[in-house]
Amino acid sequence: GLDYRASPDWGKLLGYSASGLADANIQCIEFLRDIARDYSSDIPEILIQGIIGPRGDAYERNQTITENEAEDYHSVQLETLKTADVDLAIALTFGSVPEAIGVARAASKIGVPVGISFFLTGDGKLDSGQSLADAITKVDRETDQTPEFYSVNCCHPIEYEPAMGSGEWINRVRGVRPNASKKDKIALCQIGHLESGDPVELGAQCGDLAKRYPHMDIWGGCCGTWSDHLDEITRNLLAA
């Protein structure tokens, strides 16, 4: 997950040169491959995924970035991930539709399959104000359905469940990576430590969502989740 911030603006803040940043991305992918080797005999197919974070602060409204700016910016990291021979990339914690369109176009041109993961606020919408349905519909329309799939991350079920609905668009949503805590994300950033929430409740909520949408098949955890959360999520998914 260190490649989440391995893009030009963030690399510059940390003093990385362009070549040093590319090397950091490649090391992240090699680290994943090293881990995957230990499980290759038990899991028949393991996909190696690069992570792309938003250009700005994920929790601030980044409405000034245009589709073209996003395409140019994220192309740098996507080119490196292409060189690293990843199976796919995922744009995580995106709250801007133009930025999602730009990264999807960049991935298409470079030849890296990409998923788009939006985060939602307390009112069940993107930080830029669109509903999840409108955001997915817009990105698909403007990119000829380039994204392999969509997901939501960095939000609790109380934030993303109201956004889930019916229609063709919901079939494009395959993944959920919830936060452990119900607290507001800005409040979580200010307290200085991770909140674990209620793993049992979180697992049950994920199981309920899986029953409503059995096509969803990419599950995990985000901020504050640990092995006990993943155990509960897995237990409830198997029972769904």
> Quick check: is 102 in a domain?
yes
Banded pLDDT at 61 (limits 50, 70, 90): low
Domain total for the chain?
1
- pLDDT band, very low/low/confident/very high, at 186 (cuts 50, 70, 90): low
Q: What is the model's pLDDT at position 189?
A: 64
91 within a domain of the structure (yes/no): yes
Residue 164 covered by a domain: no
Give tens-digit pLDDT for 2-23: 789 999 999 999 999 999 999 9
CATH of the domain at 88: 3.20.20.330
Span 152-170, mean pLDDT?
Answer: 93
User: How much is the pLDDT for 123?
Assistant: 84
pTM for the predicted model, two decimal places: 0.94
For residue 173, the model assigns a pLDDT of 98
Indicate whether 75 belongs to any domain.
yes
Q: Is the pLDDT of residue 121 over 90?
A: no
- Could you tell me if residue 47 is inside a domain? yes
User: Is 237 among the domain residues?
Assistant: no
pLDDT of 193 above 80: no
Residue range(s) defining the domain that contains residue 26: 2-58+67-153
- In tens, the pLDDT along 68-101 reads 999 999 999 999 999 999 999 999 999 999 999 9
93 Cβ partners below 8 Å, 6+ apart? 53, 54, 58, 117, 119, 153, 154
**Residue 17 counted as domain residue:** yes
In which band, very low, low, confident or very high, does the pLDDT at 182 lie, cut at 50, 70 and 90?
Answer: confident
pLDDT of the residue at 195: 80
In a domain, 52, yes or no: yes
